[in-house]
């Protein structure tokens, strides 16, 4: 374990998508060894932990989130020995290790599913099976979060199986005691290998109304808040029966029991109009340490979106604050205009937010969302609505570690095209006097040393300005383009102040 196993309050966590971090084999696909070799880059950012997206055996029909074996490493990424080396190196650098746990579903190719189809007594109820209606149609109107129906027929069992996402990802029956026993074994397996915490994928989809009632139509207000683009049919329903009804919040106490009281637990909320409220419920005592919603990135990181989250949160310090991930387009060009000014403003905005902060690999370089040809894309959601999908695959384009043809990522052909502009690489920004990378290091060191875990005493929202009042500091965030009056001489700012004026798209912090 890490020398200091106590988690800090409101840690900063750096997300790594293993296929796209660094390749050490020349295959064009990132490896665990590649992560190990470059962890010093992460440690220099001043974050507290890394979060590894799935590295498990998988047919990769959904980017690795279709897990076939929860207790092994995909051969193209490495071995369990490679994972153990990665954990040791992270701990040597003072970084804790968080790994993805995908408990909502498995791959259709997982051995469990075949045994459940065959009605093996132990596995019979591992998945959500349901008889058809008398006319042979699906049990109800539930839709997958990608849009198509959430039920797929299996002719061997002569039943439908439920899937929150693609038909390749059958949903586990997490009320089944045998499934619970397996989940506990999985978590203990990774804790015994030195893992310090878990990011719980799609936690709001874990349990559902066992009466299988139809979801009602969404009102326009509800549809606007349901996660996903509003042209996706999923947003047309009010998900009151297939998202954490009844005992859903209490169920999370099982996860805490399986992981242990000292593990950091971070949950992903993919629900609709009650996302922030659910996140706060999920983080009550005995449950998760933090939970994050899609509200801020999907609403382009505006002052109005920020204020809406703050006003709805019972405790904003229990939330995870973020803008980019493997599932969302890079925010430099979505929540900003791609300029260094906006990259630094948004990084300061996240760093001063009152809770856990999530940094996605490459955002410290100011990377914008790259354009990919359809022939290069493998993501099922992007392809389903091409060219209007969310751009998940673009966020997974490998990192530019250096200049040159291979960008320092691989000696082989990268699994996604790396058409990055020159000058964005780690190697260039490492030596540049005024780079985005250097600002990320500065703001996260400031956060770690001065702000992390400090109590939020109040906040305000006036037009395009958000103010945060901590017991140790005053923060002003100008989301607009017009300058606003502010105190001079901040202790740190994302841009140059002009006397008592804070320019547009600039944030500043004054220590008390």
Residue 137 within any structural domain of the chain: no
355 and 395, same domain (yes or no)? yes
The percent of the chain in helix, strand and coil, each rounded to the nearest 5, is 30, 15, 55
The CATH number assigned to the domain holding 465 equals: 2.60.40
Q: Look at residue 1 in the predicted model and tell me its pLDDT.
A: 42
Element (H, E) at 475: strand 473-478
Whether residue 5 has pLDDT greater than 70: no
What domain range is 359 assigned to? 12-108+173-451
pLDDT digits (tens, 9 = 90+) for 459-495: 999 999 999 999 999 999 999 999 999 999 999 999 9
Cβ–Cβ under 8 Å, residues 416 and 20: yes
Q: Is residue 328 domain-resident?
A: yes
Are residues 352 and 247 both part of a single domain? yes
Q: What angle do CA 17, 379, 214 make, to 5 degrees?
A: 110
- 391 and 507, same structural domain? no
Reply yes or no on whether the pLDDT at 91 is more than 80. Answer: yes
In the numeric block, which tokens belong to residue 493? 């700012």
Q: What angle do CA 503, 425, 85 make, to 5 degrees?
A: 115
pLDDT tens for 198-233 read 999 999 999 999 999 999 999 988 888 888 888 999
Spatial CA neighbour of 391 closest among 479, 437, 332: 332
Catalytic positions, please? 201, 268
Residue 465 and residue 433 share a domain: no
pLDDT at 499 over 90: no
User: Do 394 and 412 share a domain, yes or no?
Assistant: yes
Tokens of 229: 């683009």
Cis peptide bond prior to 318, omega within 30° of 0: no
* Residue 354 DSSP one-character state: S
Structural domain includes residue 34: yes
Give the number of domains in the chain: 2
In 3D space, the residue among 310, 362, 380 whose CA is nearest the CA of residue 146 turns out to be 380
Instruction: Kindly state the average pLDDT of the residues 172-176.
Output: 98
Distance of alpha carbon 449 from alpha carbon 473, whole angstroms? 12
From the list 462, 459, 480, the residue with the least C-alpha distance to 302 is: 480
Residue 244: pLDDT band by 50, 70, 90 thresholds? Answer: confident
pLDDT for the residue 453: 84
- Position 114 in a domain: no
Query: 257: how many CB neighbours lie within 10 A of its CB?
Result: 13
d(CA 435, CA 430): 8
pLDDT digits (tens, 9 = 90+) for 321-362: 999 999 999 999 999 999 999 999 999 999 999 999 999 999
User: CB of 507 within 8 A of CB of 494?
Assistant: yes
With 0-12 CB in 10 A as exposed, 13-18 as middle and 19+ as buried, what is 265? buried
Residue 124 is assigned to a structural domain of this protein: no
Give domain status of residue 168, yes or no: no
Reading the block at residue 221, the tokens are: 């207000």
Determine the Cα–Cα distance for residues 268 and 205; give it in Å rounded to an integer. Answer: 10
Question: pLDDT averaged over the chain?
Answer: 96
State the DSSP H helix or E strand holding residue 97, giving kind and residue range, or none if neither: strand 96-101
pLDDT tens for 435-450 read: 999 999 999 999 999 9
pLDDT in tens, 384-425: 999 999 999 999 999 999 999 889 999 999 999 999 999 999
**Residue 215 falls within a domain, yes or no?**
yes
Same domain, 428 and 367: yes
HSE, CB side, 13 Å, CA atoms: give it for residue 503: 11
CATH of the domain at 38: 3.20.20.80
Whether 447 and 463 map to the same domain: the answer is: no
């Amino acid at each position: 374990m890490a020398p200091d196993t106590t988690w800090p309050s409101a840690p900063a966590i750096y997300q790594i998508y293993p296929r796209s971090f660094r390749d050490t084999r020349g295959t064009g696909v990132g490896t665990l060894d590649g992560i190990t070799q470059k962890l010093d880059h992460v440690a220099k950012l001043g974050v507290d932990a890394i979060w590894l997206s799935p590295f498990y055996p998988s047919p990769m029909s959904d980017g690795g989130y279709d897990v076939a074996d929860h207790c092994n490493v995909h051969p193209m990424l490495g071995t369990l020995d490679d994972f153990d080396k990665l954990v040791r190196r992270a701990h040597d650098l003072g970084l804790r290790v968080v790994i993805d746990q995908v408990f909502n579903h498995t791959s259709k190719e997982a051995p469990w599913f075949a045994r459940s189809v065959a009605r093996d007594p132990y596995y019979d109820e591992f998945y959500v099976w349901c008889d058809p209606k008398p006319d042979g149609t699906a049990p109800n109107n539930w839709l997958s979060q990608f849009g198509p129906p959430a039920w797929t027929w299996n002719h061997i069992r002569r039943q439908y199986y439920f899937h929150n996402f693609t038909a390749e990802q059958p949903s586990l029956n997490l009320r089944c005691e045998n499934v619970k026993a397996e989940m506990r074994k999985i978590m203990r397996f990774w804790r015994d290998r030195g893992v310090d915490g878990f990011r719980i994928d799609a936690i709001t989809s874990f349990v559902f109304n066992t009466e299988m009632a139809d979801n009602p139509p969404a009102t326009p207000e509800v549809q606007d808040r349901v996660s996903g683009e509003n042209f996706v049919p999923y947003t047309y329903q009010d998900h009151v029966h297939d998202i954490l009804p009844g005992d859903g919040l209490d169920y999370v106490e099982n996860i805490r029991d399986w992981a242990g009281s000292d593990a950091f637990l971070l949950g992903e909320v993919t629900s609709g109009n009650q996302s922030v409220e659910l996140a706060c419920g999920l983080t009550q005592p005995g449950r998760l340490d933090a939970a994050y919603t899609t509200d801020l990135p999907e609403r382009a990181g505006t002052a109005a979106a920020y204020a809406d989250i703050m006003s709805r949160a019972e405790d904003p310090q229990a939330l995870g604050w973020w803008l980019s991930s493997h599932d969302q387009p890079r925010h430099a060009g979505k929540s900003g205009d791609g300029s260094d000014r906006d990259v630094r403003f948004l990084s300061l905005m996240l760093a001063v937010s009152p809770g856990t902060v999530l940094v996605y690999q490459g955002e410290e370089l100011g990377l914008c969302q790259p354009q990919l040809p359809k022939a290069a894309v493998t993501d099922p959601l992007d392809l389903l609505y091409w060219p209007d999908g969310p751009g998940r695959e673009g966020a997974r384009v490998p990192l530019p570690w250096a200049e040159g043809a291979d960008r320092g990522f691989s000696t082989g052909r990268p699994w996604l095209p790396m058409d990055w502009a020159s000058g964005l690489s780690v190697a260039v920004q490492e030596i540049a006097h005024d780079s985005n990378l250097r600002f990320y290091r500065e703001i996260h060191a400031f956060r770690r040393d001065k702000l992390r875990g400090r109590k939020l005493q109040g906040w305000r929202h006036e037009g395009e300005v958000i103010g945060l009042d901590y017991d140790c500091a005053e923060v002003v965030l100008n989301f607009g383009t017009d300058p606003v009056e502010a105190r001079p001489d901040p202790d740190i700012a994302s841009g140059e102040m002009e006397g008592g004026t804070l320019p547009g798209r600039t944030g500043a912090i004054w220590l008390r």
